[in-house]
Amino acid sequence: MRSFTYSRAPSIGAATEIAANGAHVIAGGTTLIDLMKIGVMQPEGLVDINGIGELEGYTIEADRMRFGALTKMSTVADDQDVVDAFPALSEALWKAASPQLRNMATLGGNILQRTRCPYFRDTAFAQCNKRNPGSGCAALDGGETNLHAILGGSEACVAMYPGDLAQTLVAFDAEVSTRGPGGTRIIPFAKLHVRPGDDPHTETILEPGEIVTEISLPVIPAMKNSYYLKARDRESYAFASASAAVGVEMDGNIVRDVRIGLGGVASVPWRANEAEDSLRGQPLTEESARNAGRVAFADAEPLEGSSYKIQLGADVVAGALMAVKSRMGGK
Ligand code: SF4
């Protein structure tokens, strides 16, 4: 058994100081404890941020939504104001994990969850550039690749980002507020995660000791007409094979604004910018939705095991767009 230190931080300042000295931040613990039990993460110390009041709670205002990093997934998923203002956000949270996990897991922890690549999670496999930099990649070296990314991977790692919430955040221009030894900063959500490149070990731009304090989003018309569609192996408690968070603002029969975030298919939360461009200024029809799906995966680089995700992902994008259209009364 490995020993580690544990301390409970009374404030954000104390937490950043302890974390900057090497301790790992723990909140809901639903990912971290799991990875510690299987030996994938072995921190020397933990700093518990539960109980720091200013990290909890959220507000839904006319122009901006703000969520404290310690807010529980289930609390936000169930809130009728969230359901009314931004249905895709509620749906993404509802379709993530199990009820027990949603009651424990925090929004801040959720966006920082780590890949489900089976070789990353099994220390019996020596080859994993993410867990053990420079060791190689068991997936790319003849392993199973059906759970892996077809967008944004590299020759060093093709691990898939596994979350659901993040797709809604990247598509709707969310920002993340942080506090660290260097002070506070606001990071566009689209820049928080980094693609694996040559260094899959580095997953975000967060500095040592830097803690996510808040997630916020501008309120835009496309949020009201939004939907989160998730394709997975079973109906509950499964990670996405492909998912899409979409939102649409119409001007008569023409798409004025559209947002498309992809999950289950990429190394990081993925915004399908070209697919959005293909729809803006066009009618929203089965044909234009299917074309957007094709465009979203035009640059995909699948491996043998993950090639099915191109058609599945395109179908999920089209299906989510048609679901939004149906929600708008078929306009
Ligand atoms: Fe490790 Fe990435 Fe390869 Fe999986 S895909 S074995 S996480 S390097």
DSSP β-bridge partners for residue 232: 240
CA-to-CA distance for 166 and 183, rounded, in angstroms?
25
Q: What is the pLDDT along the chain (331 residues), one digit of tens a residue?
A: 789 999 999 999 999 999 999 999 999 988 899 999 999 999 999 999 999 999 999 999 999 999 999 999 999 999 999 999 999 999 999 888 777 888 888 999 999 999 999 999 999 999 999 999 999 999 999 999 999 999 999 999 999 999 999 999 999 999 999 999 999 999 999 999 999 999 999 999 999 999 999 999 999 999 999 999 999 887 777 788 999 999 999 999 999 999 999 999 999 999 999 999 999 999 999 999 999 999 999 999 999 999 999 999 999 999 999 999 999 987 6
Pocket test for ligand 1, best of 116, 117, 268 (most atoms within 8 A of CB): 117
- Chain centroid to Cα 87, Å, comes to 17
Judge whether 81 and 60 are in contact, CB under 8 Å.
yes
- pLDDT at position 118 is 96
CA-wise closest residue to 221 among 249, 196, 181: 249
CATH code: domain 222-327 is 3.30.390.50
Counting atoms of ligand 1 from 1, which one is nearest the CA of 127?
A: 6
User: Would you tell me how many other CB atoms lie within 10 Å of the CB of residue 292?
Assistant: 28
Question: What distance in Å separates the CA atoms of residue 322 and residue 117, rounded to the nearest whole number?
Answer: 31
In the prediction, which pLDDT does 306 show?
Answer: 96
pLDDT at 189: 98
| Pocket (CB within 6 angstroms of ligand 1) | 115, 117, 119-120, 128-130, 137-140, 157-159, 200
pLDDT at 331 (0 to 100): 60
Q: Is 5-51 a CATH 1.10.10.10 domain?
A: no
Span from the CA of 231 to the centroid of ligand 1 (angstroms): 23
Q: Given 3-state DSSP classes, what are the helix, strand and coil percentages for the chain, each rounded to the nearest 5?
A: 30, 25, 45
Domain residue extents for the chain:
5-51, 222-327
Minimum-distance ligand 1 atom for the alpha carbon of 131: 1
User: What is the reported pLDDT for 154?
Assistant: 98
The CA 46 to ligand 1 mean position distance, Å, reads 25
- What is the Å distance from ligand 1's center to 218 Cα? 35
Single-letter amino acid, residue 70: L
